[in-house]
Structure 1
């Protein structure tokens, strides 16, 4: 078994990060807003850091739970989250702004809801 308190703390951090991404992305309506100006590139960078940390937290939780927790929630591509972290952290200049836009628009809301569900399932 694993320490549920530690996992809940990490899940809480993930929830905070998804909300941070949603707040930063709220005004973005097109990919070009992340690429066509210095302010846009700064916004892109502000979205990338929490995505890196989310990938790290998924890896950490997987390690703590021996991959048992996230397999109960197959609606989220957990392996892809870790893969995105690796691309952003190690190949920054290969980051595809369209993929980040799509991730923030479509995947982060689903991830946020699933994290809330996981936290609720612990209680």
Structure 2
């Protein structure tokens, strides 16, 4: 792939690798979460929800920065991901404070992380060539 990202490419790859690591960590943390109640009915669950929110927020922020640094060109290469939602969940968590919807976080983790991991790996591969 001929790069339009030249000077930012190494930084973008580094951030994408951090996103990949974060998604893998989330998948590991969440393997024993079977319903939203697993977040809400114990102190451990609430701590898990808080930590999960932190990483989901960081992933959304990372993709916001990547999109900005690539002038909105990179994410278009993987259109099956709802990028507006990926970036928007960061704002929801960051500005929701104590109004985090555990159902949204649960759904995000259980349904959206694997496709996002695939997209992240796709970008790493594309930019590494």
Residue 5 of structure 1 is matched in structure 2 by 10
4+ residue stretches of structure 1 with deviation over 2 A?
none
Map 1:32-47 → 2, pairs under 5 A: 32-47=37-52
Q: TM-score by structure 1 length?
A: 0.95
Q: Distance in 1 between matches of 2:122 and 2:68?
A: 20
Which one is further off, 113-122 or 39-48?
113-122
Alignment map for 1:32-111 (pairs within 5 Å): 32-111=37-116
Mapped to 1, the partners of 2:20 and 2:42 lie a distance apart of 29
Structure 1 gaps, min length 5: none
Instruction: Tell whether the 8 Å contact from 1:24 to 1:46 is kept in structure 2 after alignment.
Output: no
Matched, 1:31 2:25: no
Aligned counterpart, 1:113 = 118
Q: Give per-residue Cα distances to partners, 1:36-90, cap 9 Å, x unaligned.
A: 1111111101101111111110111011100000011111111111111111111
Take 1:55 and 1:67, find their aligned partners in 2: how far apart are those partners?
15
Cα distance in 2, alignment partners of residues 92 and 109 from structure 1: 26
- How many equivalent pairs are there? 123
Which structure 2 segments of 5+ residues have no match? none
